[in-house]
Structure 1
């Protein structure tokens, strides 16, 4: 079957949504679907009239369309218009829009169906808009080499430098651990919010951590693999997260993870015991957890063993694509 996949053109860093979209398209094609990926430029999630007209044109003539919710959520009239011409528009909602509830509710109602990357994301939509028929297609994880770890232990945080990702909180917690041996890398793009990226750099300098905390910028390919290869612990402190692809990426490398309670990253970590989900209403919780991990070899080994065990049971992206393909056909 032919599927037109519409993705936003205004998210240019390596976001989880972008990675999910690319992997889904790749594996739908591997299952035999004819995938046409169209990047729709615009100031999404609502855009200008010209942006929405561009979106409407991208919808036109496609028998089956998957549209990223960042583009589709603010354009209910365009979706309804396409549906009236026989186009089945599936909205891939990575996360409910922060604003524009009225538009998003109408867009979801006009769509042929809704796909979410996690039960957490589906529940958030349901909490805002009532009962919805949602297909949950959790992300897969590519196979990866097992991390060798480092001496001293090395901590990685893989996420764009954005306020939601809370890198300043991590730097503050690490600043309380000067007396222990560790190093850390903050791996993610500085481009989406240069002002916040500057705050992260300033925090590193303020606490005198320049020799211990490295801001690498966004890394891909072998450069990123090199950092995973020396990682002992991964940290994702997002205040909101639909799933957290970096969690399964960590586990695929046998690296345990600390995440924030109340986010979709908890779903990604599951009951593996390969790390911890923390209530971060108090900074001391993170500091104490890191101190406990850094000073307790038995805890390190237990988390590591659980990560290696979880690594054996990760779903592949072929399962994600199969779930979506079954739904849209």
Structure 2
């Protein structure tokens, strides 16, 4: 099968969506598909006429297309024209568009089908737009070395510095734990939203936590592996999250996770017992959960054992790609 995979060019930090796209394309090729990845620049999700023309050009001639929802959901007329011309166009919706429901609804109504990374994301999309031809293809796990941890315990939050990721709330929560021993690392790009990144840095300085909280910037390769190696707990407390690939990444290292209740990260964590969900209304909710973990060795050991157990049962990206490939091969409804 020949697949044209269209991805946005205006997300330059290491987002979960970018990582999913790259891993899926690689594994589709490993399963025998001919995959052509096309990057479309533009001010997505609502591009200019020139941006949408570039997207239309990318669609032209593709008989089977996977288009990232950040691009395709903002260009329903171009999607409809491609499908009308005989192409099978699937939108890969990493997360519903919060501010453009009409555009997104029109695009979803025009496509052959939709790929979502979680049941949570699929349910959220269908709650907004009604029944859709959806296939859920959960992110896979990359094999990873087991974390060793640190003394005092090391807390990591791996996410770009963005308001949705709530790093300022995390810093405020950690400021309430000054009587306990811990260190923390906020690992993510400051370039996605420089103004918010400045607020995060200012919060660390305001609470006098420069010696306890490290802002590493975006890391990859051995630098990121070293941070995971030293970690004892990871956090994903985003206000909204379709799945939370970093949860799977954490479990792959045998590191338990605290996630925010009501988000797709709960689905990523599952029922393994390798952490907990927290209803985060404010910093004290998170601080209380962290205090309970830091002060109870039995809880830390229980979560750690559960994370190590879960590590051995994580499906790889080949399962993700096989699910998508089977959906693409089905006749259009």
Map 1:67-106 to 2 at 5 A.
Answer: 67-106=67-106
Q: What SS does the corresponding residue of 1:11 show, helix, strand or coil?
A: coil
Q: Quote how far apart the aligned CAs of 1:283 are.
A: 2.5
Deviations 1:61-100 (A, max 9, x none): 0110000000000111101111121111100011111122
Query: How large is the Cα RMSD of the aligned pairs?
Result: 0.6
TM-score (norm 2): 0.98
Work out the CA distance in 2 between the residues paired with 1:40 and 1:57.
10
SS of 1:45 mapped into structure 2:
coil
Residue 321 (structure 2) aligns with = 321
1:152 paired residue number: 152
Which stretch has the larger CA shift, 282-291 or 166-175?
282-291
**Is it true that 1:119 corresponds to 2:104 in the alignment?**
no
Q: Which residue of 1 aligns with 2:34?
A: 34
- The Cα offsets for residues 82-124 of structure 1, whole Å up to 9 and x where unpaired, read as 1121111100011111122111111111101110000011011
What corresponds to 2:200 in structure 1? 200
CA distance in 1 between partners of 2:281 and 2:199 (Å): 21
CA distance in 2, matches of 1:166, 1:46: 25
The residue aligned with 1:268 is 268
1:60 maps to 2:60? yes
1:133-152 correspondence runs (5 A): 133-152=133-152
TM-score (norm: length of structure 1): 0.99
Residue 162 (structure 2) pairs with residue 162 (structure 1): yes
Question: Which whole-Å CA distance do the structure 1 matches of 2:63 and 2:133 have between them?
Answer: 21
Tell me the distance in 2 between the aligned counterparts of 1:282 and 1:12.
30
Partner of 1:181: 181
Shift of residue 50, structure 1, vs aligned partner: 0.4
1:213-246 deviation line (CA, Å, top 9, x unaligned): 0000000000000000000000111000000000
Report if the CA contact (8 A) 2:113-2:132 is conserved: no
1:5-16 equivalence runs, <5 A? 5-16=5-16
Map of 1:290-329 to 2, 5 A cutoff?
A: 290-329=290-329
2:216 aligned counterpart, secondary structure: strand
Aligned length: 329
How much has 1:44 moved relative to structure 2? 0.5
What corresponds to 2:243 in structure 1? 243
Task: Report what 1:213 is aligned to.
Answer: 213
SS of the aligned residue for 1:157 comes to strand
Answer whether contact 2:169 2:282 (CA < 8 A) is retained: no
Instruction: Quote how far apart the aligned CAs of 1:282 are.
Output: 3.5
Stretch deviating more after TM superposition (101-110 or 36-45)? 101-110
Structure 1 residue aligned with 2:288? 288
Give the equivalent residue in structure 2 for 1:108: 108
CA distance in 2, matches of 1:2, 1:207: 54
Q: In the aligned structure 1, how far is the partner of 2:64 from the partner of 2:133?
A: 18
Unaligned runs of 5+ in 2: none
